[in-house]
Structure 1
Amino acid sequence: FLGYFYLRCLKFILRKVTGRCELQRICYNNKHGARRSLKIGTTPNISDSLLRSALSVDSDRVEKTIDDIMALKKINPDTNPQLGVSLGASLLQIVGYRALLMQVEKLRREAYDCENQEHEEMLLKLWKELRPDTPLSGRISKQWCEIGFQGSDPKTDFRGMGLLGLHNLLNGMQIWSLSCGCRYSFAIVGINMTELTYSLLLSGALKTHLYNVAPELPGLTHFQQTFCHLMQEFQRFWVEEDPSDIMEFNRVRAKFQRRIVRQLQDPDAALCPHFSASDLRLVNL
């Protein structure tokens, strides 16, 4: 109680001294990106509005939320025009992150169905792209092990990540040539890196990165870029660690994850700022 009372008094004093409420201080004193959006997302009296807005990323809803917040804080939009712009950009990032999480979760929950022609075509496309000169003997074949699946039917490897894993493998095909000499299996490692990217998104650890690389709405393209970046970085990390065999995969993976989590704790973190959609053969989800 004393801590809460002290905080309220401090905010009151700061408002009297600076002439600005906490929201104004956050927007004016922090550059656009994670530093600003993370603070706005945890500011009292704003969180409830954000939760209501999270159901939709429609720009009109965000604008209405901005109007409500400024009215609540008794801020005149005519004398504070930049505040609405700054707040709007951060709100779009926050509700966009939540929408992205729902989109990714939907893909993850969709199981691979061998009776679904679209699913089968995606899987066969993966083989043709990675083994263009080698015909596949059959849908069920030991040949799948050549590109890193664990058995003769890839369907079983998608149980944890669902269609999200398959989409990411298609997006990460350009990394296949890098993985060939690294003594690990491309497909199963790609699914594993999908799980890592998903867990970082779910925990909120990816907020720093996505808020810093997505000017407004983080989307599936940003998620795919992040996955491809993690695949490339893991390939480099694997070479640096120089494990004796694939049995050390879990140790190397855990060490790699700890390094990425540490990087993401920096509010200025941007794992792959140089990536753009044109750099990758991204699948339209």
Structure 2
Amino acid sequence: MKHFLRVVTQFFVFLYCKCLWRGLKFVTRKLTGRCELQRICYNNKHGARRTLKIESSLRFSKNALLQSALSVHPDKVEKTIEDIIALKKINPDTNPQLGISLQASLLQIVGYRTLVAEVEKLRREPYDCENPEHEDMLMKLWKELRPDTPLTGRISKQWCEIGFQGSDPKTDFRGMGLLGLHNLLYFAEHDKATALQMLHDSLQPKHNETNKPEWEQKNIDKAIGYSFAIVGINITDLAFSLLVSGALKTHLYNVAPETPSLMHLQQTFCYLMQEFQRFWVEEDPCDIMEFNRVRSKFHRRILRQLKNPDMALCPHFAASDLHLVNL
């Protein structure tokens, strides 16, 4: 009985708050002469602050047209904006900036959904050693990371030199499919100096502390403790989880002026790889057995950063430093 009364009370409190909110919106429109979408566009700069609020406004709208705008095809965005402006009885001639701002944000919203589908497709596609394109990508990865060392064979222990677990890398791609290979190759090709430095560092032992007795130095002298390629696949999994959970909206809405693309996600992967290595060194784990603990802690740090609507996961700057077009 107590549980029933609590549920009923919560329901009526929810209805009261909902009615109060709608009443406030009505009064605000009468006082300002602007609908909610106008107020959002005019009072928030381009990026996550604006787009997240527009997304929320459309999602919780009672109007079917506004709700459907979240799932419209990218080619229909312009027509949808025209319909919204007509629905809200806004004069486009006296509010020219509104259509531009709404279009930019809506392209981000529907583009994010499209990107999730594209990335999920890559993740689900298994590595196929009979597919020439797959094999070509894998060979390119080796050449980028080991430019001066010829590969003796397709199946070789040499793959362990760049951080795979065994003689055939295809077995390591099972969890993330082609997405893991795409990300590793993008990192090696587009941020080659950093990728090579990380690979080099992952293979190096820690420096001995010369002031320690010899028997203690042997315990201190150990490798940094991770395999480059395997970490790349794990960080791919982390980036994927951030994307599908929606946590990455803050970042992508800040760095993509309009439609987020796979390139934006791959650039994010490069950033996460660099940051994870710094974090790994800071944590100073005893051995690879602590990898899951360190990764989970790193994941929580990134999630905290993404709660800041001005945050962009870029190596040297936050979104407030980006020279975005004032849409």
After TM superposition, is the score higher than 0.5?
yes
Match of 1:282 in 2: none
* 1:164-218 Cα deviation digits (max 9, x unpaired): 1001111122223224324211100000011111110100001000101111111
Map residues 235-274 of structure 1 onto 2, 5 A cutoff.
Answer: 235-272=277-314
2:140 to 125, 129, 147: 125
User: Given the alignment of the two structures, is residue 2 of structure 1 paired with residue 16 of structure 2, yes or no?
Assistant: yes
- The CA distance in 2 between the partners of 1:124 and 1:167, in whole Å, is 12
- The CA distance in 2 between the partners of 1:91 and 1:102, in whole Å, is 17
User: Given the alignment of the two structures, is residue 186 of structure 1 paired with residue 228 of structure 2, yes or no?
Assistant: yes
Match of 2:112 in 1: 97
Match of 2:39 in 1: 25
Secondary structure in 2 matching 1:261 = helix
Query: CA distance change for structure 1 residues 187 and 273 in 2, over 3 Å: closer, same or farther?
Result: closer
1:15 to 25, 29, 36: 29
What is the identity percentage for the equivalent residue pairs of Structure 1 and Structure 2?
A: 75
Map residues 67-82 of structure 1 onto 2, 5 A cutoff.
Answer: 67-82=82-97
Match of 2:74 in 1: 57
- The CA distance in 1 between the partners of 2:79 and 2:66, in whole Å, is 15
- The CA distance in 1 between the partners of 2:200 and 2:66, in whole Å, is 47
- The CA distance in 1 between the partners of 2:71 and 2:266, in whole Å, is 27
Query: Following TM superposition, where does structure 1 have runs of at least 4 consecutive aligned residues deviating by more than 6 angstroms?
Result: none
Contact between 2:162 and 2:199, CA under 8 Å: does it hold in 1?
A: no
Secondary structure in 2 matching 1:8 = helix
Contact between 2:70 and 2:106, CA under 8 Å: does it hold in 1?
A: no
- The CA distance in 1 between the partners of 2:265 and 2:71, in whole Å, is 24
Equivalenced residues, count = 271
CA RMSD of aligned residues (A): 1.5
Contact between 1:123 and 1:166, CA under 8 Å: does it hold in 2?
A: yes
Secondary structure in 1 matching 2:74 = coil
TM-score by length of 1: 0.91
TM-score by length of 2: 0.80
Any stretches of 5+ residues in structure 2 without a counterpart?
A: 1-14, 203-223, 318-327
Match of 2:197 in 1: 177
Q: Which protein shows a greater Rg?
A: 2
Contact between 2:108 and 2:258, CA under 8 Å: does it hold in 1?
A: yes
Map residues 126-275 of structure 1 onto 2, 5 A cutoff.
Answer: 126-173=141-188, 174=192, 175-182=195-202, 183=224, 184-272=226-314
Letter in 2 for 1:177: Q
Contact between 2:112 and 2:249, CA under 8 Å: does it hold in 1?
A: yes
Contact between 2:108 and 2:260, CA under 8 Å: does it hold in 1?
A: yes
Contact between 1:49 and 1:65, CA under 8 Å: does it hold in 2?
A: no
Question: What's the offset of the Cα at 1:49?
Answer: 2.7
Letter in 2 for 1:202: V
Letter in 2 for 1:217: T
Secondary structure in 1 matching 2:151 = coil
Any stretches of 5+ residues in structure 1 without a counterpart?
A: 276-285
Contact between 1:179 and 1:235, CA under 8 Å: does it hold in 2?
A: no
